[in-house]
Structure 1
Amino acid sequence: MYGLPSTVTVDQTLPKNAFYQRLSLAAPVKDEFVHGIEELRVVASIKEATCGIPTSGSIEEISVLRIVLKTDELPRKALDAIASAVPRKMLMACCHEGRACLAVVRDGLRASERWIAEEQMNIELRGASLAEVWDGLCAQVLFDDVEVEDVDARMAQEERIAELEAEVIKLKRKYAKEVQPAKRNAAFRTYKQALAELRALKGE
């Protein structure tokens, strides 16, 4: 399934009601379980015994969880609760009406912006250890690029780009409205500095 080696394939249904009823969840999170999720099923167990890739640090197993959704809106609070309740790394394949997107929890819930046909979903296992495999899986979800060498650094860069994009818009408006020459020139310099950093990070 999903292009994964047959040796890692499993088929384990997680009873949805039993799963969320044993957790202490706020009402909005329970509501997402009830109205947003149809089925939970573990479809792969990636560990040394099943794929031959050695453990590394605290990562001994990575589960792939297929989550059938009732709508095409991701139940983010419920997904976060699921990941928090499972004591291992987890890649979530969120599926709805033949389409799917991937999600992981890494410094908060992170979901791919790409929905593709589920039958075309291809998950690559890259790395000499499960820690490297996990980084590769996160890179596939976050950047659609398994070749990313430092996922945390790339995440920080993407966050900085988003911050600068918002800041550049704000600074441009500020200097455009400024009428006093000295303040306008200072605002323009600040705007150009932010714009230069943004372009450098984007490689423009």
Structure 2
Amino acid sequence: MIDFPVSTIVHRRLPKEAFYKHLQLSTALKSRFVSYVGEISVANSLTKKNLNLEKETDTKEILLLSIILKKRAFDGKILEVIARQNPHKLVFLLSYEQEVRLAVYHKKLYYSAWMSEDDIELTLSVETLDAIWEDLVRQIALHSPSVEQRTESLEQQLKDQDEIDRLNKLIKKTEAAAWKEAQPKKRFAIYTRLQEYKQKLEEITHGET
């Protein structure tokens, strides 16, 4: 569940047309916005005041935007535009039928997996809005236990997670290529490359890079 204090609840629905009129959207993205988005609302607003925080930070407000989708295959560029053109820090809760997923933009767009509403988790456990924002990004963007458990900076953790994801994709693609290759020399070259990817993954997974 999304465990935010009652004091942060807003539940204010935003008219779609009024919302996207304030965004600089290409004609194509505007069309996709209308096609993909059913409803959009501000679910929660996190501020120093309503969280009873003491320290002033650069982050002034974090909004949880709830977006009900018409289609599950959503164009993430829409979220990027919304996040980049909004003065607040934004966390997105995307809903399609009985499934939900979280998204956050921090230099790039990160998603959680699709899951049931009962399985979604997002908590607050730190003392400043800056720290809360970084923790929310971690909860959504990081999904490798070895990265989550490190005491590195957020930027380093995201860099490691991105590299792990990239290597996993390369390993899967290279394994498929090895199965299809009939020529021994080419297959050997592919297997050599595959072992290099696996070695790099092993190193970064155990924090040895």
TM over 0.5: yes
Matches of 2:205 and 2:41 in 1, distance apart?
39
Partner of residue 96, structure 2 = 96
Identity %: 22
Partner of residue 19, structure 1 = 19
Matches of 2:65 and 2:36 in 1, distance apart?
16
TM-score, normalised relative to structure 2: 0.78
**1:199 maps to 2:202:** yes
SS of residue paired to 1:155: helix
Matches of 2:70 and 2:193 in 1, distance apart?
48
How many residues were matched structurally?
A: 198
Deviation at 1:44, TM superposition (A): 0.7
**What 5-or-longer segments of structure 2 have no aligned partner?**
none
Deviation at 1:192, TM superposition (A): 4.8
**Matched-pair contact (CA < 8 Å) for 1:55–1:131:** no
Deviating more after overlay: 84-93 vs 144-153:
144-153
TM-score, normalised relative to structure 1: 0.80
Within-5 A mapping of 1:25-104: 25-54=25-54, 57-104=57-104
AA aligned to 1:128 is E
Matches of 1:21 and 1:151 in 2, distance apart?
33
**1:153 maps to 2:152:** no
**Matched-pair contact (CA < 8 Å) for 2:69–2:95:** yes
**Cα 1:66–1:165, aligned 2, differ >3 Å: closer, same or farther?**
closer
Q: Of the two, which has the highest radius of gyration?
A: 1
Partner of residue 130, structure 1 = 129
Matches of 2:161 and 2:206 in 1, distance apart?
12
Matches of 2:10 and 2:67 in 1, distance apart?
14
Cα displacement string for residues 129-162 of structure 1 (whole angstroms, at most 9, x for unaligned residues): 1111111111111125776643321211122223
AA aligned to 1:197 is K
CA RMSD of aligned residues (A): 3.2
